[in-house]
A and B are shown apart, each in its own frame.
Chain A
Amino acid sequence: MSSTKYILGLFDDPDEMMHGIDELQKNSVPIYDVYTPMPIHGIDAKLGIKESRLGYAAFMFGCLGGTTIFAMAYYMMVQDWPMNIGGKPAFAIPDFIPITFEWTVLFTAFGMVGTFFYATHLFPGRTPRVMDLRATDDRFVIAIDAKGNIPHEDITNLLKKAGAVEVKHNDRKYVSYE
């Protein structure tokens, strides 16, 4: 039994990589993940990844932010210490609009980005789990789990035929660890 853990198909062109994904899928080879130096539209649909729900999170955080500051302003200006400013009403809704808007935006931004980092496991100091070091530079990498898949040579040939400039049989999952 070979010690190969992952087979990587390295492409130098995004369109050829898309072709590679099609070829693999036509031959029922499951794809583990794809690493690219830039966002490529359409891969997510091919790999059956559902649309991101971050928009819903953003909306909820926005509602939370707006409600929080409006409630604070209401408590401070109306309940706790109402001030008589020229006899005008203490509950001056138009004056609360700027701060409500600002905190809506603030909570949306931080809440959504925080959720994004949490969901994709991004945080300062996280060890990078990189399969090929050029995937952030100029290579478009298709990774295939070697275990249980059809003969490795067939996958290599498929990738080569689709236009891969290099096919790697890695014994380790990640090359970024020492």
Chain B
Amino acid sequence: MASHSESIIREPLITGKDITYAQITNDVLRPVENMPGRAWWIGFTVASLGACLWVFSVSWTFWYGIGEWGLNKTVGWAWDITGFVWWVGIGHAGTLISAILLLFRQNWRNSINRSAEAMTIFAVICAATYVVSHMGRPWLAYWPLPLPNQFGSIWVNFNSPLVWDVFAISTYFSVSLVFWYTGLLPDLATIRDRATGIRRKIYSVCSFGWTGSVKTWQRFETVCLILAGISTPLVLSVHTIVSMDFATSLIPGWHTTIFPPYFVAGAIFSGFAMVQTLLLVTRKVLGLENYITMFHIEAMNKIILLTGSIVGVAYLTEFFIAYYSGGEYEQYTFLNRFIGPYWWAGCMMYGCNVLMTQLMWFKKIRTNIPISWVLSIVVNIGMWFERFVIIVTSLHRDFVPSSWVMFYPTWVDVSIFVGSIGLFFTMFLLFIRVLPSIAMAEVKLILKSSSEQAKRKILEHGGHDKEQVEFYKESLTTFDSVEIADYEKI
């Protein structure tokens, strides 16, 4: 039931006075129903220039081949797979938020799941483009699929982790898309019923004729719950399989049994950092401070702290096992991360991912928006270097010292990477213009139980433990969207 009242020691998930259901619709749809402001245009211009750079450099790669990249005989995988794993990792937060947090009944997911899922889908698109462009002959991209062919048929090798990866990434992308779009239907119907003319027609087609009748909602909830149930192991399986691309090889530094949980934790870590990067800006620019509150920011920072620490433990374990294994190649690879020519990359990896995130133990830092934003970017820089260290540093000094080399990226490598960031932001900026960036129906669901106004009413009603009331007021002081002066009289 919508009417049950929640304990006052829980922080509110929606702040602001006199928020009504209509107000939620108006606030969320403001960027969709009006012309964008200057900030959006500036962002969109920069992002689409980046996307153009991406189109150019990927076309260049297709035309001249991957010889245009900085790869050499020793380092056969470098920025391409680094970029791929980085993007796939970022693409883990959305489904984690929408699936795992739904199963755990974390209501704070309701206002961030939509944009996080959208971000997931765009990140996986960026990752998929790397897969296609690193093939060298992209017109043969269908070869990893088990299709009948004229060579025998010679089938794909189902023992190969690269084939598993094709299945994992494509399943993950399509299931995430279905999950995201099904959740969008009620909100698309809201836009449809408020729009006129051609916009109404477009949103009418997109909303599949949603009406919000009892049966549709009842089935909708069943569908969402089951999708969450199957997406949870799916999310964990995807990065597990990505890690097996490395872990099943015989390269020291790759051949590590800890890789699956280590990669999954790292993926969630970087995904939440990217959600934080995007949402801290989005809430400000679109004026959504009442829905994405300090509680959300702090909760995400806590997850970043937790997963960052898991990653830290994995790093330590890796070092210990390299020492304990007694394998000299293994030991050399890990020493080489610090004393080899790529020591600076190793420092970026361990410094950004482990040391910097430990700052999140302090509440002052977790609830400070500019610092959180900078730290979220630091995390993503660190995670990029993690993949770079694992891939390039492990490869560049192989078993034969005569083939030891350095890897130098060309302008094509750099342009594809920078361009993919532009592509990502272009898609995200278009998303916040045409689709509701917050799941309206789900936020409306918690308005009566978890909003600041509901809790205020409970407080005004009186009769509560003094300690609890003080605790609640204390927790509100960190919120930037709450007028704390209003609470002095209560």
Do A39 and B158 have beta carbons less than 8 Å apart? Answer: no
Q: Give the shortest distance, in Å, between B44 (CB) and chain A (any CB).
A: 27
Residues facing B in A100-148 (CB within 8 A) are: 101-103, 105-106, 108-110, 112-113, 116-117, 119-131, 133-138
A163 interfacial contact with B, CB 8 Å = no
Do A98 and B190 have beta carbons less than 8 Å apart? Answer: no
Do B192 and A49 have beta carbons less than 8 Å apart? Answer: no
Residues facing A in B17-43 (CB within 8 A) are: 20-22, 25
Closest-by-CB residue of B relative to A31 is B214
Do B214 and A34 have beta carbons less than 8 Å apart? Answer: yes
Select the stretch in B220-228, B319-327, B361-369 that faces chain A: B220-228
> Which residue from B207, B223, B440 sits with its C-beta under 8 Å from A54?
B223
Name which of A49, A58, A98, A127 has the most chain B CB atoms within 10 A of its CB: A98
Name which of A80, A108, A137 has the most chain B CB atoms within 10 A of its CB: A137
Q: Give the shortest distance, in Å, between A127 (CB) and chain B (any CB).
A: 6
Complex Cα spacing A66 to B368, Å: 47
Complex Cα spacing A39 to B43, Å: 36
A55 interfacial contact with B, CB 8 Å = yes
A151 interfacial contact with B, CB 8 Å = no
Contact with A along B161-187 (1 / 0, CB 8 A): 101100110010011001100100110
Chain A residues near B157 (CB-CB < 8 A):
77, 83
> Which residue from B163, B215, B226 sits with its C-beta under 8 Å from A55?
B226
B3 interfacial contact with A, CB 8 Å = yes
> Which residue from B168, B209, B445 sits with its C-beta under 8 Å from A126?
B209
Q: How many A-B residue pairs have CB under 8 A?
A: 202
Closest-by-CB residue of B relative to A125 is B205
A36 interfacial contact with B, CB 8 Å = yes
Do A99 and B445 have beta carbons less than 8 Å apart? Answer: no
Complex Cα spacing A99 to B167, Å: 6
Do A105 and B175 have beta carbons less than 8 Å apart? Answer: yes
Are A137 and B1 CB-contacts (below 8 A) given A101-B233, A124-B206?
Answer: no
Chain A residues near B190 (CB-CB < 8 A):
37, 136-137
A52 interfacial contact with B, CB 8 Å = yes
Do A96 and B158 have beta carbons less than 8 Å apart? Answer: yes
Q: Give the shortest distance, in Å, between B200 (CB) and chain A (any CB).
A: 9
B234 interfacial contact with A, CB 8 Å = yes
Q: Give the shortest distance, in Å, between B77 (CB) and chain A (any CB).
A: 21
Do B211 and A49 have beta carbons less than 8 Å apart? Answer: no
Do A47 and B214 have beta carbons less than 8 Å apart? Answer: yes
Do A95 and B158 have beta carbons less than 8 Å apart? Answer: yes
Chain A residues near B20 (CB-CB < 8 A):
12, 138
Chain B residues near A40 (CB-CB < 8 A):
2, 217
Q: Give the shortest distance, in Å, between B383 (CB) and chain A (any CB).
A: 24
Complex Cα spacing A105 to B452, Å: 39
Do A34 and B175 have beta carbons less than 8 Å apart? Answer: no
Do A122 and B444 have beta carbons less than 8 Å apart? Answer: no
Q: Give the shortest distance, in Å, between A129 (CB) and chain B (any CB).
A: 6
Do B223 and A113 have beta carbons less than 8 Å apart? Answer: yes
Do A76 and B158 have beta carbons less than 8 Å apart? Answer: yes
Complex Cα spacing A122 to B208, Å: 5
B153 interfacial contact with A, CB 8 Å = yes
A150 interfacial contact with B, CB 8 Å = no
Complex Cα spacing A92 to B161, Å: 13
Name which of B2, B167, B206, B448 has the most chain A CB atoms within 10 A of its CB: B2
Closest-by-CB residue of A relative to B203 is A128
Q: Give the shortest distance, in Å, between B212 (CB) and chain A (any CB).
A: 5
B402 interfacial contact with A, CB 8 Å = no
Complex Cα spacing A112 to B216, Å: 14
Chain A residues near B182 (CB-CB < 8 A):
113, 116
> Which residue from A83, A85, A124, A135 sits with its C-beta under 8 Å from B212?
A135
Are A52 and B158 CB-contacts (below 8 A) given A105-B234, A122-B185, A137-B25?
Answer: no
Do B208 and A112 have beta carbons less than 8 Å apart? Answer: no
Do B211 and A128 have beta carbons less than 8 Å apart? Answer: yes
Do B153 and A106 have beta carbons less than 8 Å apart? Answer: no
Complex Cα spacing A39 to B221, Å: 8
> Which residue from B167, B178, B442 sits with its C-beta under 8 Å from A38?
B442
Complex Cα spacing A39 to B185, Å: 13
Q: Give the shortest distance, in Å, between B356 (CB) and chain A (any CB).
A: 34
Q: Give the shortest distance, in Å, between B26 (CB) and chain A (any CB).
A: 9
Are A33 and B214 CB-contacts (below 8 A) given A105-B171, A106-B174?
Answer: yes
Complex Cα spacing A108 to B241, Å: 20
Do A52 and B218 have beta carbons less than 8 Å apart? Answer: yes
> Which residue from A73, A117, A135 sits with its C-beta under 8 Å from B211?
A135
Chain B residues near A33 (CB-CB < 8 A):
213-214
Are A36 and B192 CB-contacts (below 8 A) given A12-B21, A14-B2, A44-B218?
Answer: no
Chain B residues near A83 (CB-CB < 8 A):
157
Q: Give the shortest distance, in Å, between B93 (CB) and chain A (any CB).
A: 19
Are A15 and B2 CB-contacts (below 8 A) given A85-B159, A120-B219, A137-B22?
Answer: yes
B140 interfacial contact with A, CB 8 Å = no
Are A54 and B167 CB-contacts (below 8 A) given A37-B212, A37-B441, A49-B214?
Answer: no
> Which residue from B156, B206, B216 sits with its C-beta under 8 Å from A120?
B216
Name which of A36, A37, A92 has the most chain B CB atoms within 10 A of its CB: A37
Complex Cα spacing A133 to B191, Å: 10
Do A128 and B222 have beta carbons less than 8 Å apart? Answer: no
Closest-by-CB residue of B relative to A96 is B158
21 pairs from A and B in contact (CB 8 Å cutoff) = A14-B448, A15-B2, A15-B448, A35-B213, A36-B214, A38-B186, A39-B221, A41-B1, A49-B218, A52-B218, A72-B146, A77-B159, A80-B155, A98-B244, A102-B234, A116-B182, A128-B193, A128-B211, A130-B211, A133-B193, A135-B193
Other A-B contacts than A36-B212, A39-B217, A98-B168, 13 sampled, CB-CB below 8 A, are A36-B214, A37-B186, A38-B444, A39-B221, A105-B230, A109-B174, A109-B178, A116-B219, A120-B219, A122-B216, A128-B204, A128-B211, A130-B211
State the 7 A-B residue pairs at the shortest beta-carbon distance, nearest first. Answer: A126-B209, A138-B21, A76-B155, A122-B208, A138-B22, A98-B164, A39-B217
